[in-house]
Structure 1
Amino acid sequence: MPVAALLAIWLAGARAWKPFFLWCFLFGSGIVLVVATKIAYIGWGAGIAAIDFTGISGHAMRATAIAPALMAILLQKQTRQIQQLGLLAGLVFGIAIGISRLAIHVHSVAEVVSGCLLGAVVGAGFAWLIRNRPVFFDRKLLVIGVLALLPVLTLKPAPTESWMESVAYYLSGKERPAQTTNLESVTTEYR
């Protein structure tokens, strides 16, 4: 999430307003879909048991959205072929993060695939929408952004799991999960 915020700040700092609003809209929409599926499962048990789906993987979605978008900005001055290779590298990175979620057993294949697909739509969509825009890459902004991220890396992750649970319980009017099957995989992701 800090890198997603850095991208937004970077675009705003470069006064690239259309890409800034595109990024905020696309990435924000992806996050809303992830959170909505998790709240629906926690609050009402809305999932697909046959494929072990309890909500879109947020890690897979974020990685597969952010990495291609970052590559699109970093490689703006490069040839179209290098830009495409960068986009592909960003997508592969996101898929690798998704696979890591499977390896540590916090998500099902359906959750990771849906996260990667949603993230790819966000990241590749952003890259495609800015492909013919004027160059707004600025090394000074990159250095400032990286330096600004360093302290963030030492912070404890936000308790998003408990926030989603609280919202789900409030909205559903329940005091405990509607369904416990694989709920641990939903809540473990944020621990």
Structure 2
Amino acid sequence: MLSWMGITKVGGSTIMLPAAVAIAAWLLAARAQRLFWAWCLLFGSALLLVAASKIAFVGWGIGIDELDFTGFSGHAMRSAAIIPLLFYFLFQQKTTAVRQLAVVSGMAFAALISLSRVVLDFHSVSEALSGWLLGGAVSLAFIWCAESLPKPVLNRTLMAVSFVLLLAASFARPIPTQLLIDKAALLLSGHSALAAESRRHAVEKCCEPPAQLPAP
């Protein structure tokens, strides 16, 4: 049975960033230039927004205490932006109803990954939900563009090779994204120390769920 840690790993940068590159490669190979640039703009903007929200917190202490918000969940955003598109492209030549069901299934899987971030206490509900909504906006905006343009003929061999490589990437060590965020915050703020760091950020650096406190 797949554990919560196994589920949350799917949304990590080690798997999702190569998947984003794979989508771009499929579109380039299909000569779908407009969709390629649409994908790069949408996903790139979302990545920057996630990074900016996290840098603002650790660099300057900017967050929303009432919502326990210290930045968008990157796992949730990446999952909701990418997984529905992977499902969409797999069933691209099917009927509209099948494509819609594939996208809904992808969003549901991304929601499960987002939930895992809350269950493991890596993110608050507001961080996971906002990340999922941001990623969902990316995938749905891209699909709207794709449905309004001629369908690109994707190279199925390239897609198959990409999925094999993504499977191999699942065994790689996690990318220390939180450490990179910390370094960027120190560089941009000019501070010698982080302005703020939540307990969840410290846990995420260790890539381990927090220990459960005994009940009083």
TM bucket by the smaller chain? over 0.9
Deviations 1:134-189 (A, max 9, x none): 24233212122123334433322222211110110111121222123xx2323534
Paired residue for 1:184? 199
SS at match of 2:147: coil
The counterpart of 1:145, out of the listed 156, 162, 167, is: 162
Given residue 80 of structure 2, which amino acid in structure 1 is its aligned partner? T
Aligned length: 189
Q: Which residue among 105, 108, 116 is the counterpart of 1:92?
A: 108
Alpha-carbon contact 2:69-2:127 (below 8 Å) kept? yes
Q: Give the secondary structure class of the aligned counterpart of 1:130.
A: helix
> Residue 58 and residue 137 in structure 1: after superposition, are their counterparts in 2 closer, same or farther (change >3 A)?
same
Letter in 2 for 1:10: W
User: TM-score when scaled to structure 2?
Assistant: 0.82
Mapping of 1:43-58 within 5 angstroms? Answer: 43-58=59-74
Establish whether residue 11 from structure 1 lines up as the match of residue 42 from structure 2: no
Q: Is the 8 A contact 1:38 1:186 kept in 2?
A: no
Does residue 1:127 correspond to 2:165, yes or no? no
What is aligned with 1:64?
80
Alpha-carbon offset, residue 67 of structure 1: 1.1
Residue correspondence of structure 1 range 170-181 to structure 2 within 5 A: 170-180=187-197
Asked if the contact 2:29–2:154 (Cα under 8 Å) also holds between the matched residues in 1, the reply is no
Aligned-partner residue type, residue 165 of structure 2: A
**In structure 2, how many angstroms separate the alpha carbons of the residues matched to 1:29 and 1:177?**
25
C-alpha distance in 2, partners of 1:137/1:16? 9
* Contact map agreement 1:45 1:179 (CA 8 A) in 2: yes
Q: Matched residues in 2 for 1:135 and 1:187: separation? A: 44
Unaligned runs of 5+ in 2: 1-16, 208-216
Displacement of 1:73? 1.6
Contact 2:122 2:203 in 1 (8 A): yes
Question: What TM-score results when the alignment is normalised by the length of structure 1?
Answer: 0.92
Cα–Cα, structure 1 residues 40 and 11, in superposed 2: closer, same or farther, change >3 Å?
same
Measure, in 2, the Cα distance between the counterparts of 1:4 and 1:105: 26
Query: For 1:71 and 1:147, how far apart are their aligned partners in 2?
Result: 15
In structure 1, how many angstroms separate the alpha carbons of the residues matched to 2:160 and 2:74? 27
Tell me if structure 2 keeps the 8 A contact 1:44–1:179.
yes
AA of the residue aligned to 2:180: W
Q: How does 1:107-126 map to 2 (within 5 A)?
A: 107-126=123-142
Q: Is the 8 A contact 1:41 1:47 kept in 2?
A: yes
Show structure 1 runs of 5+ residues with no match. none
Counterpart CA distance in 2 for 1:8 and 1:188 is 32
CA-to-aligned-CA distance 1:94-148 (integer Å, 9 cap, x gap): 1111000001001001101110110000011111110132242332121221233
Give secondary structure in 1 for the equivalent of 2:172: coil
Residues of 2 paired with 1:38 and 1:22: CA distance?
A: 25
Instruction: Provide the rounded CA distance (Å) in 2 between the counterparts of 1:143 and 1:160.
Output: 28
Q: Partner residue of 1:160?
A: 177
Query: How far apart are 1:58 and its partner, in Å?
Result: 0.2
